[in-house]
Amino acid sequence: MMWFKTALWLGIALTLRAQVSGERLRDAAREPQNWLTYNGSYASTHHSALSQLRPDNVARLELKWVWQANSLEKIEATPLVVDGVMYLTDPPNDVVAVDARTGRVFWRYRHELPAGVVPCCGRVNRGVAMLGNTLYLGTLDARLVALDVSTGRKRWDVKIAEYEQGYSLTLAPLAIRNKILVGTAGGELGIRGFIAAYDAETGKEAWRFKTIPEPGEPGHETWKGDSWMHGGASVWLTGSYDPELNLTYWGIGNPGPDWNPALRQGDNLYSDSVVALDADTGQLKWHFQFSPHDGFDYDSVQIPVLADLNWKGKPRKAMLWGNRNGFFYVLDRSTGEFLLGQPFVKQTWAAGLDERGRPIRLNDRMPTAEGTLTYPGVQGGTNWYAPSYSPVTGLFYLTAWEDYPGVYYSWEQDYEAGKWFAGGSVRSQMPAITRQEIRTLGSEVGYGTIRALDPATGQRVWEYRMNDVSDSGLLTTATGLLFSGNREGHFFALGARDGKLLWNRYLGGQVASSPVTWSVDGQQYVSIASGHAIFTFGLPER
Amino acid sequence: MRLKGIAALVVFCFPALAQHGSTNVVNPYTSREHAEAGAKLFRSQCAGCHGPDGTGTGAGPTLTSGTFKHGGSDEALFGTISKGVPGTSMPPFSLSGLQTWELITHVRALGIAHGASQIKGDPQAGAAIFRANCSRCHAAAGEGGLSGPDLTAIGTKRSSAELRESLTNPDAVVASEYWSVAATTSTGRSIRGIRLNEDTFSYQIRDENGHLLSLQKRNLKDVELIRRSPMPSFAGKLSDTQMDDVIAWLISLGRQQ
Average pLDDT over residues A159-174: 97
- What is the pLDDT averaged over residues A448-465? 98
Q: Tell me the pLDDT band of B10, cut-offs 50, 70 and 90.
A: very low
**Which of A204, A438, A208, A154 has the alpha carbon at shortest distance from A146?**
A154
HEC string of A166-182 equals CCECCCCCEEECCEEEE
- Best B42, B43, B197 member to test A by mutation, with max A CBs in 10 Å, is B43
How far apart (Å, rounded) are the C-alpha atoms in residues B28 and B15?
A: 7
Q: Which of A267, A272, A297, A468 is catalytic?
A: A297
Calculate what percentage of chain A has a pLDDT beyond 70: 97
Shared-domain flag, residues B107 and B8 = yes
User: What digits encode the pLDDT tens for the residues A65-108?
Assistant: 999 999 999 999 999 999 999 999 999 999 999 999 999 999 99
Average pLDDT value for residue range A307-313? 97
Check residue A8 and give its pLDDT: 47
Would you mind telling me the total number of residues written for chain A in this entry? 542
Higher pLDDT, B170 or A391: A391
- Rounded Cα distance between A320 and A332, Å, is 9
C-alpha–C-alpha distance, residues A127 and A514, integer Å = 11
Query: Best residue in A414, A421, A439, A440 to probe B by mutation, most B CBs within 10 Å?
Result: A440
Q: Whole-number mean pLDDT of chain A?
A: 95
List, edge to edge, every strand of the sheet that includes A134-138: A129-131, A134-138, A143-148, A154-159
- Residue A495 in contact with partner chain B when CB distance is under 8 A: no
Q: Which of A73, A427, A467 sits opposite B198 (nearest CB)?
A: A467
| Least confident among A122-126, A255-259, B112-116, B248-252 | B112-116
Out of B48, B87, B199, the one facing A467 most closely (by C-beta) is: B199
- pLDDT one-digit tens code per residue, A288-303: 999 999 999 999 999 9
Q: What are phi and psi of A286, to 5 degrees?
A: -155, 165
Look at residue B251 and tell me if it is in a domain: yes
Answer yes or no: do B103 and B205 share one domain. Answer: no
Q: Chain A contact for B217, CB < 8 A?
A: no
Q: What is the pLDDT of residue A17?
A: 53
Q: Which of A145-149, B27-31, B43-47 has the highest mean pLDDT?
A: A145-149
User: Nearest-CA distance from A2 to chain B in Å?
Assistant: 52
Element (H, E) at B178: none
Alpha-carbon span B36 to A39, nearest angstrom? 48
B132 interfaces chain A, CB cutoff of 8 Å: no
Tens digit of each residue's pLDDT (9 = 90 or more) over B85-127: 877 778 888 788 888 989 998 888 887 766 655 568 898 999 9
Contacts of A241 (CB under 8 A, 6+ apart): A42, A174, A176, A247, A248, A249, A279
> Three-class SS of residue B18?
helix
Q: Are residues B159 and B45 in the same domain?
A: no
Highest mean pLDDT among A139-143, B2-6, B99-103: A139-143
Q: Tell me the chain B residues in contact with residue A296 when contact means C-beta distances shorter than 8 Å.
A: none
What is the β-pairing status of strands A85-90 and A94-99?
antiparallel
Give the pLDDT score at A13. Answer: 45
DSSP assigned state of B74 = H
Q: What is the three-class DSSP state of A528?
A: strand
CA distance B14 to B26: 8
Same domain, B164 and B56: no
Chain A CB contacts of B48 under 8 Å are: 188, 258, 420, 422, 424-426
Q: Are residues B101 and B212 in the same domain?
A: no
Q: What order do you get walking across the sheet with A338-343 strand by strand?
A: A305-311, A314-322, A327-332, A338-343
Give the per-residue pLDDT at B13: 40
pLDDT of residue B24: 64
Query: Higher confidence at residue A267 or residue B9?
Result: A267
Q: Domain range holding B45?
A: 2-113
Q: Each residue of A482-513: b (16+ CB within 10 Å) or e?
A: bbbbbbbbbbbbbbbbebeebbebebebbbbb
Residue pair A49/A41 in contact (Cβ under 8 Å)? The answer is: no
**B248 and B163, same structural domain?**
yes
For residue A11, the model assigns a pLDDT of: 46
* Cβ neighbourhood burial of A399 (10 Å; 0-12, 13-18, 19+): buried
What pLDDT is recorded for position A400? 98
pLDDT digits (tens, 9 = 90+) for A185-208: 999 999 999 999 999 999 999 999
Report the pLDDT averaged over residues A384-394: 98
User: A212-222 pLDDT, tens per residue?
Assistant: 999 999 999 99
Stretch B47-52: mean pLDDT: 82
Of A271, A400, A390, the closest CA to residue A328 belongs to A400
d(CA B45, CA B57): 14
Is residue A403 over pLDDT 50? Answer: yes
The pLDDT of residue B46 is above 70: yes
Least confident residue range of A175-189, A501-515, B230-244: B230-244
**Residue A297: active-site member:** yes
Of A472-486, B44-58, B195-209, the poorest mean pLDDT is in B44-58
A165 contacts chain B (CB < 8 A): no
Give bridge partners of residue A276 from the DSSP assignment: A249, A286
Instruction: Give the pLDDT of residue B257.
Output: 57
Average pLDDT score over residue span A368-380: 94
User: Measuring CA to CA, which residue among B112, B115, B118, B116 is closest to residue B39?
Assistant: B112
The DSSP line for A28-45 is GGG-TT-B-STTSSTT--
Closest chain B C-alpha to A470 CA, distance in angstroms? 12
For residue B118, being part of any structural domain is answered with no
pLDDT: which is higher, A375 or A8: A375
Residue percentage of chain A with pLDDT more than 90: 89
**DSSP code of residue A213:** P
Instruction: Domain count for chain B, please give it.
Output: 3
CB A92 within 8 A of CB A125: yes
Nearest of B175, B138, B145, B222 to residue A440 by alpha carbon: B175
The predicted pLDDT at position B243 comes to: 92
Give residue A399's pLDDT: 98
Query: With 60 as the cut, is the pLDDT of residue A12 above it?
Result: no
Residue of chain A nearest B95, judged by CA positions: A419
Q: Which residues of B touch A378 (CB under 8 A)?
A: 58-59
Instruction: Count other Cβ atoms within 10 Å, centred on residue B142.
Output: 7
Secondary structure class of A366 (helix, strand, coil): coil
Inspect the interface and report whether the beta carbons of A438 and B94 lie closer than 8 Å: no
Q: State the DSSP code for B40.
A: H
The whole-number pLDDT of residue B155 equals 78
Note whether B187 and B211 are same-domain residues: yes
The closest CB to that of A116, out of B58, B94, B177, belongs to: B94
CB A326 within 8 A of CB A344: yes
Closest CB from A414, A419, A442 relative to B176? A442
Is residue B159 domain-resident?
A: yes
Would you state the pLDDT for residue B114? Answer: 66
Crossing angle of the two packed helices B2-13 and B97-113, in degrees rounded to 10: 10
pLDDT at A476: 98
Q: Are B54 and B86 part of one and the same domain?
A: yes
Interface membership of B47 toward A (CB under 8 Å): yes
Q: Nearest-CA neighbor of A240 among A104, A515, A9, A42?
A: A42
> How far B103 CA sits from the closest chain A CA (Å)?
14
- Collapsing DSSP to helix, strand or coil, B161 comes out as helix
- What is the chain B residue with the closest CA to A75? B87
Q: Are residues B140 and B236 in the same domain?
A: yes
- ipTM of this predicted structure: 0.87
Instruction: Examine the domain organization and report whether B142 and B166 are in the same domain.
Output: yes
Distance CA A70, CA A73 (A): 9
Residues B163 and B84 in one domain: no
Q: Hey, which residues 254-313 in chain A have their CB within 8 Å of chain B?
A: 258
Percent of chain B with pLDDT over 70: 85
Predicted local distance difference test score (pLDDT) of residue B116: 53
Could you read off the pLDDT of A413-428 as tens digits, one per residue?
A: 899 999 999 999 898 8
User: With contact defined as beta carbons under 8 Å apart, do B49 and B39 qualify?
Assistant: no
pLDDT tens-place string over residues A100-133: 999 999 999 999 999 889 888 889 999 999 999 9
Pairing of strands A47-48, A475-477: parallel
Q: Which residues contact A231 (CB under 8 A, 6 or more apart)?
A: A192, A212, A223, A255, A256, A264, A268, A271
Please name the member of A418, A428, A466 whose beta carbon is closest to the beta carbon of B57: A428
Which CATH code, of 2.60.40.1180, 2.140.10.10, 2.40.30.10, 3.30.450.20, is assigned to A20-538? 2.140.10.10
Q: Contact B200/A468, CB-based, under 8 Å?
A: yes
CB pairs under 8 A between A and B: 104
- Convert the pLDDT of each residue in B12-37 to its tens digit: 444 333 333 344 678 888 888 888 88
Residue A82 belongs to what H/E stretch? strand A80-82
Domain assignments of chain A as residue spans, ordered by start: 20-538
DSSP per-residue letters across A333-355: TTT--EEEEEESS---SEEEE-T
For all residues of chain B together, what is the average pLDDT? 82
Residue B177 distance to chain A (closest CA, Å)? 5
Residue A107 contacts residue A97 (beta carbons within 8 Å): yes
User: What residues have CB less than 8 Å from A38, skipping those under 6 apart?
Assistant: A78, A80, A126, A127, A129, A171, A172, A174, A238
Q: Mark whether B193 and B77 lie in a shared domain.
A: no
B153 contact A CB<8A: no
Please state the rounded mean pLDDT for residues A401-414.
93
Q: Assign residue B22 the CATH number of its domain.
A: 1.10.760.10
Nearest beta carbon to residue B48 from set A425, A431, A468: A425
Question: What's the pTM value of the predicted model, to 2 decimals?
Answer: 0.86
CB of A415 within 8 Å of a chain B CB? The answer is: no
Residue B41 has a pLDDT of: 86
- State how far the Cα of A297 lies from the Cα of A255, in Å rounded to an integer: 7
C-beta separation of A496 from A455 below 8 A: no
User: How do residues B226-240 score in pLDDT, each as one tens digit?
Assistant: 998 888 999 999 999
Per-residue pLDDT at B18: 36
